[in-house]
Amino acid sequence: MGNSRSSLITHTKTIHKIVDGTMTLFKKESTPLGTSSWSGVWQDSTSPIGTVPHYQARVLVHLHSSVLDPAGEAVRGAAARLGVHGINKLRIGKAVEVEIEAVSEIEARHRLELLSDRLLANPVIEHWSLELKDS
């Protein structure tokens, strides 16, 4: 059993509140002993009340280099048959475009990382990268 703080947290909840025109993101962490604490982790007084920022993201999913890519090999072979020569390596991946609302870039990144880890990529054979920008 490790002594790290992350091994003691069993649940994290985030909410945002607008108080006096300032939007604040709060994070609540609960432990196995039933104790919990709230902390304000982000504030933004420049956002108009009632609006939540939008972010554009692109998640790029690729096979690990150790995994064979029969689709990539088929396309490489077809390219040669079409007269496109000189392609030594061709691997197929996928790009997933996402528009997301979040109170901060940190929150958007957290949600997208969760989505990528658990849904978009198979961690046994794939890895992913994330591009994120304000929309």
In whole angstroms, give the CA distance from residue 70 to residue 67.
Answer: 10
Who has greater pLDDT, 42 or 109?
109
- Where is mean pLDDT largest: 28-32, 64-68, 99-103? 64-68
Tens digit of pLDDT for each residue in 110-128? Answer: 999 999 999 999 999 999 9
When pLDDT is averaged across residues 91-100 and rounded to a whole number, the result is 97
Give, in order, the Cα–Cα distances in Å from 49 to each of 21, 91, 105, 106, 107.
6, 46, 17, 19, 18
Who has greater pLDDT, 95 or 21?
95
Who has greater pLDDT, 9 or 68?
68
Say whether pLDDT at 21 is over 60: no
In whole angstroms, give the CA distance from residue 50 to residue 65.
Answer: 46
Tens digit of pLDDT for each residue in 31-85? Answer: 556 555 555 554 454 544 457 889 999 999 999 999 999 999 999 999 999 999 9
Query: DSSP secondary-structure letter at 48?
Result: P
